[in-house]
């Protein structure tokens, strides 16, 4: 004799298998195109300009202005080599 719990479990597994094989199940495809653009802006003395915002920049693709969706100032120390220091 089959126990009711085991029979119910069998039907549940069969139902899951049928749903998994349903060719009419909706399919979602998504994507995004994000291009990272780095810019270095320095003043006359070579110091980074940290007061700029996204509104100070314009990005174009094939002449068409693009939306700047993310903008951050990132300070990166630079290695300065003095001319005549003997470095090669």
DSSP secondary structure string for all residues of 7-25: HHHHHHHHHHHHHHT-TT-
pLDDT of residue 32: 78
pTM: 0.48
Sorted by where each begins, the domain ranges of the chain are: 35-74
pLDDT tens for 38-65 read: 888 988 888 888 899 999 999 999 999 9
DSSP state letters, 29-81: -------------B-TTS-B-----GGG--EEETTEEE---------------
């Amino acid at each position: 004799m089959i126990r009711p719990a085991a029979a119910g479990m069998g039907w549940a597994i069969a139902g899951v298998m049928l749903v998994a094989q349903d060719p009419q199940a909706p399919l979602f495809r998504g994507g995004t195109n994000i291009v990272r653009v780095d810019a270095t802006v320095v003043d006359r003395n070579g110091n980074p300009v940290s007061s700029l915002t996204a509104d100070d920049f314009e990005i174009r693709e094939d002449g068409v202005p693009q939306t700047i969706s993310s903008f951050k100032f990132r300070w990166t120390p630079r290695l300065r080599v003095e001319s005549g220091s003997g470095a090669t």
